[in-house]
Structures are given as structure tokens and as C-alpha cells.
Chains A and B, each alone.
Chain A
């Protein structure tokens, strides 16, 4: 940045009222004057820098000071350590006692140690003697339990009974086992719960010492405490042990210590360790082998028994082979043994129930068959479907429809009409020849072809148009849509047309004749060309009028228009009213049926096509002949297929 550029910039800045930039050349003296004001950001920043520097300096100074103080302290500590080491040590205290004196005093010290040892030994001995605590120490101590309760158990821990001080003074120490005490309390409580009769006649006191109203004794005297006192040898009352007043000797002594050594009382029962119980034989492992034996049992009971009785020699070879086979099978299915066993039992039962076929029976059967004398009851021919004349006839009846049943009347009419027609007109006869042939065929053929069975033979296509038509009609492929009526209409129409043509022809003839007549009469020659023209036109209009009148009458009389709306779809199928409506509707709205409906329709069409192509004698469907037969078969519950 050169000075001129900055000068230029400064001009702008000054114009905007901003602080001018410092120009490099002039900067020196400007910088010299310290800016004291802190109005601008720059000066504040500068101050901040100053402050920061000051703080840093102060920190540094403080750090230095601390360091110095630490150094001083270190030096002082060092000096102190040296000073303490200067003093007299602990070992230096006995310095005045020399080795000789120490040796002298050694003897005295030895004696002191000896004496201390002796004293200690004595103390230990006395303590040991004091610690030995025998049955004698326990003499006179009461035990607050029945003696009997100690007999059964093993080691019992007795503790001093927890009593008050005064009670203790009166009664002296009492020993008791906490667990036993608790058990006794529980027993008492349970007994209280049982409702006992006050007087129990069965409870006879053998001693005879029975007080009056003895059951109140407890309430009067308080509970009798079961106590025994240990004496020097640690004994107590025998009656306590026996739990009964059999022998009431006072102060009988039982030595507890002796009791410990004494052999256990012989029990009335045999010791469990002596008893030899026969162990049940080890449960046989449910091996396949075991069950194989079972199966063999089932299948060949007699043989198995024999085999058991003798050695294995007798086993039939076939049976053996069978066993082997079974083994292989069973090894795979050993998982559910219980199930297998139960099944085996069931099988056994079933087999027993079943009549056994013995070889003799089989032999007899074979002989019978060979002799060729079957039993009278069994018929040789039972299965299959028999198609006889009756079923065929019924089939044919079934196929007949209602409109066919009505057929005879129109047919008769038709025949009459045909005859009439034949006499009516030559030309028409020619035209209708084909059609008439057809009718004749139809009329005559059923009668002609009627076989002896009364059932119509099926037509074939090679017999002619009529036969073909009959065939199609039989199969309902061509519907009989009031053929006679249609034919009548058609004939009417043809008649009308013929009449029309005839009239036209006569008109033409008339016209021609008249013209010739006019020409011959010489009438035209007398007229001028113009007059001739005029006259001819007049004649023409007259003729036309006459013609129109006649035609009008003819149309009024004979013209019967047949109006038929025929709709076909894209494939050329003719549609009925409903379908046609749908088609038109679809065309109008520009959209067809959905997928489902279309599919349905296509399926229906396909079905129709298939039905047309189906064989007449196809037994699988209900077509033509087979219906009656199948129905009958179903009724008789016979399965069968017609083979043709």
C-alpha cells in the first residue's frame, strides 16, 4: 500500500466521517502521542493488551517469589536435619555401664526370668485344674426335662434356665434345652386344642392312686414340673425314664456318664441293618430282544411254548426268518417302549379273537375251488354296471325336453303347409327346395329309423343335412326356435315378394302393350313432337299413380315386416338382450368389465365351446346318453364306466 492510495482512501473516509487511516510516512509522530481515551474500540483493545501484560507480569513475579520461598524452606529443612543428627543417640545412653558390670547383672536377670516362668506355669496348672468340669460340679442341679426325652436323641446341649434372680435364689439353677422346651410347649398347645372328654373310662390308672376329680389337679396344684436332679454321678429318677409310676423309689440315681458308655438298649425290633430284603430283580432293560420274544409269543404261541420247553432246536425256520426281519424293523422304533408294549398287548388280544386259519382250511378251500362247484350263494358276476335296454330307454327319456314334447303339433302344421306350398307356386318351390328337403328329413326320419328297441339311434353327419341337424338338436347345440313360425313368416315374405315382382312385371307389360297400341293407332303421328311428348308424360304420370295405388294396397295387405335386432360381439357370437345391453353399455362408457367378470365370461365361453366339442358318449360328463346310466349307477351304488 503506497501512501498515495491511502491518502486517497483517507479522503473518502473523511467525507464519510470516519477516522483516517494512518499514512506510513506520517505515522511516527502520531504514534508517539499516547492515546489516553478509551472511547474507541482500538484504544480499548490496546488497554486490554496492557492489562493482560500487567497481569502476566504480576503472575510471573509471584511465581518467582514462590520459587524463592520454596528454596529457602528447603535449605532450612536441610540444615535442621543435619542439626538433629548431631545429638546423642539412644544407644549412647548406657555408655557408663561397661561389659563387666553387664555380665554381673546378667545372673540376676536370669533368676528373674526363671521366677517369672515358674509363676506362669503354676498359674497355668491351676487354671487347668479349675477348667476340669465333671459331673460332680453339676450335682444338685435340676434339669427341667423328663429323663425320657433324653434317651432317644443324641448329644443335647443344656443351658441354664432364664429365670428371675429371686426365683433363682429359691429354686436354684435349672438346666434346660431350648429346643426341647419349645417342642414341649408346642405339644401342650396341641393337646389343649384336642377336646378331651373330662372323664375317660378307658384311661384306667393301674396304680390306683387316683384322686377325686383328678382332672382339676393341674389347676389346683399348678403344673407338675417334670424335673430330675443330677447328683454327683449325674443320675436321676428311674421313673422319669420309664415315664410311669411303676416303681416309685425316691432318689434313684442314674449315672449319666455311665449311660453314655452303656450299650444301646436292645430294641424289640430287628435292626434294619440285619434285615435282608430280597432285592427285586433288576428291571430288565427294555431291549428289542425282550419285545421280540413278546411278538413271537403273539404270532406263534404254540411254537414258542414248545421252544421254551425244549431247546431252541424246534423253532420253525420260517418263524426264525420272521424274527430276523422284525428285529431290523424294531431297532428303528425303540423310542416309545410303553406305547409299544401296550400295542403289543392289544395286538395279542386281537389275534386271539380272530379266527385262526389253519392249513387244513386253506387246503379244503383250494380243493373246493378246483372241483369247480361254487357255493350256491355266491354269484359269479357281481361287480360292474349292466347297461340294458331299460337304462338306455330311460336315458333317452331324460334327454327329452319340454319344447320337444310339444313338437308334434307344429310339425303337423308344417307338413300341411308344405303340401299347400308345393301346389302354390313353381318358382318358390324351387327356392325352398333345400329347406323343404330338410323339413321332410326331419319329419320322416324319426319314424323311419326307429329301431326295435324303441330308442332312437344316434344320427351321424354323413346321413345328410337333416341327420346333422337332428344330431345337433339332440345335443342341444342348435336350439329349436319355433322353426315352423319362422318358416311361415319367411314364406309369407317370399310370397309377398313374388307377388310384388309379378305385379311389377304385369305393369311393365301393360305399359309396353299400351305404347304399342298407341303407336299402332296412329294417334301419335297426328300430333306434333311436342304434343307427343306432352301426352306421353301424361300417360306416364297416370300409370305411375295407378301403380302407386296398387302397390300401396299390396303393401298394406301382404307386407309384414319382421324386425329383429341382432347383436354380435367381436367373435361373431350372437348376443341375447342382456349381453347386448352390456356390450352397448361398455361401448358407450368406454370401459369394460373388471378382470374378475371378464375371466368369468371367458371361462363360460370356453366351457360352452368345450361342451359343443364333447363326445356324445363321454361318460365322464353328464352329456346325452350317459346321464341316466350314471344316475342309476349312483342309486344302486355301483361303480362303473360305460365302454362304447
Chain B
């Protein structure tokens, strides 16, 4: 089990426990539960990198314990 920190740099910061093998889509659901925003409106990415794709897992992006991800609003494009 890893604990991932999600931060939107606007005052919202949440720590979410997950498995590294979780898909991004599932992880987004858990983030949504924590931050109170619809899962499809959530866009996750490492700082300065491209947004994560739903089909891949956290492990694919090299997300390990204690990693911080940037949370942005996904407008769909």
C-alpha cells in the first residue's frame, strides 16, 4: 500500500492510500471522494509533465509511496 499526496496548489491537499497497481481511473474515484469533485473533472499529473491516462496504473507512472501529484480540472480536452 502506498500513500499518494494530491495537491492542486490552491489550498486543497489530500493524502490517499492506494495500491501501486491501481488504475488511474480508480484512483481518480478515490481522489474524487476526498476532494469533492466529479471523477471525470479530475486531471492528475506529475509536476511539469503530461497528464496521466486512465488506462494505466500508478505503477506505470512510477508513483510510489509519498509521491505528490498535481490535481487540475479536466475540461475534457
In the complex with contacts A16-B26, A21-B1, A9-B17 CB distance below 8 A:
yes
In the complex with contacts A12-B30, A16-B26, A16-B29, A1-B19 CB distance below 8 A:
no
CA A6 – CA B17 in complex, angstroms?
Answer: 7
Residues of chain A lying within 8 A (CB to CB) of residue B1: 21-22
- The B1-40 residues at the A interface (CB cut-off 8 A) are 1, 3, 15-22, 26, 29-30, 33
Determine whether A99 belongs to the interface, using a CB cutoff of 8 Å to chain B. no
A42 to chain B, nearest CB (A): 6
Partner of B29, one of A12, A21, A40: A12
Partner of B21, one of A1, A5, A13, A41: A41
Residues of chain B lying within 8 A (CB to CB) of residue A1: 3, 15, 17
Are B33 and A42 in contact, with the CB atoms below 8 A?
no
CA A470 – CA B36 in complex, angstroms?
Answer: 109
Residues of chain A lying within 8 A (CB to CB) of residue B26: 13, 16, 18
Determine whether A19 belongs to the interface, using a CB cutoff of 8 Å to chain B. yes
Residues of chain B lying within 8 A (CB to CB) of residue A41: 21, 57, 59
CA A41 – CA B19 in complex, angstroms?
Answer: 10
B2 to chain A, nearest CB (A): 10
How many of A's residues come within 8 Å of B, CB to CB?
Answer: 14
Residues of chain B lying within 8 A (CB to CB) of residue A21: 1, 17-19
- The A40-54 residues at the B interface (CB cut-off 8 A) are 40-42
Are A18 and B17 in contact, with the CB atoms below 8 A?
no
Are B22 and A18 in contact, with the CB atoms below 8 A?
yes
Partner of B19, one of A5, A12, A42: A42
Are B21 and A42 in contact, with the CB atoms below 8 A?
yes
CB within 8 Å: A-B pair count: 31
CA A312 – CA B57 in complex, angstroms?
Answer: 121
Are B17 and A19 in contact, with the CB atoms below 8 A?
no
Q: Which partner residue on chain A sits nearest B15 by CB separation? A: A1
A128-139 interface mask toward B, CB cutoff 8 Å, 1 = contact, 0 = none? Answer: 000000000000
A323 to chain B, nearest CB (A): 95
Residues of chain A lying within 8 A (CB to CB) of residue B20: 42
Are A12 and B33 in contact, with the CB atoms below 8 A?
yes
Partner of A40, one of B15, B16, B17, B21: B21
CA A1 – CA B2 in complex, angstroms?
Answer: 11
- The B31-58 residues at the A interface (CB cut-off 8 A) are 33, 57
A30 to chain B, nearest CB (A): 12
Residues of chain A lying within 8 A (CB to CB) of residue B30: 9, 12-13
Q: Which partner residue on chain B sits nearest A22 by CB separation? A: B1
Q: Which partner residue on chain A sits nearest B27 by CB separation? A: A18
Residues of chain B lying within 8 A (CB to CB) of residue A5: 17
Residues of chain A lying within 8 A (CB to CB) of residue B3: 1
A1-45 interface mask toward B, CB cutoff 8 Å, 1 = contact, 0 = none? Answer: 100011001001100101101100000000000000000111000
Q: Which partner residue on chain B sits nearest A40 by CB separation? A: B21
CA A412 – CA B1 in complex, angstroms?
Answer: 133
CA A22 – CA B18 in complex, angstroms?
Answer: 10
A238 to chain B, nearest CB (A): 113
CA A13 – CA B20 in complex, angstroms?
Answer: 14
Q: Which partner residue on chain B sits nearest A12 by CB separation? A: B33
CA A9 – CA B17 in complex, angstroms?
Answer: 8
CA A22 – CA B59 in complex, angstroms?
Answer: 18
Are A19 and B19 in contact, with the CB atoms below 8 A?
yes
CA A532 – CA B45 in complex, angstroms?
Answer: 115
CA A323 – CA B58 in complex, angstroms?
Answer: 109
B16 to chain A, nearest CB (A): 8
A19 to chain B, nearest CB (A): 7
Residues of chain B lying within 8 A (CB to CB) of residue A12: 29-30, 33
CA A22 – CA B19 in complex, angstroms?
Answer: 10
CA A13 – CA B23 in complex, angstroms?
Answer: 12
Residues of chain B lying within 8 A (CB to CB) of residue A19: 19
Residues of chain A lying within 8 A (CB to CB) of residue B16: 9
A269-313 interface mask toward B, CB cutoff 8 Å, 1 = contact, 0 = none? Answer: 000000000000000000000000000000000000000000000
CA A19 – CA B21 in complex, angstroms?
Answer: 10
Residues of chain A lying within 8 A (CB to CB) of residue B17: 1, 5-6, 9, 21
CA A1 – CA B15 in complex, angstroms?
Answer: 8
CA A269 – CA B22 in complex, angstroms?
Answer: 121
CA A16 – CA B26 in complex, angstroms?
Answer: 8
Question: What are 18 A-B contacts defined by CB distance under 8 Å?
Answer: A5-B17, A9-B16, A9-B17, A9-B33, A12-B29, A12-B33, A13-B26, A13-B30, A16-B29, A18-B26, A21-B17, A21-B18, A22-B1, A40-B21, A41-B59, A42-B19, A42-B20, A42-B21
In the A-B complex, the 3 residue pairs with the closest CB atoms: A41-B21, A21-B17, A1-B17
10 extra interchain contacts, Cβ-Cβ under 8 A, other than A41-B21, A41-B57? A1-B3, A9-B17, A9-B30, A9-B33, A12-B30, A12-B33, A16-B26, A21-B17, A21-B19, A41-B59
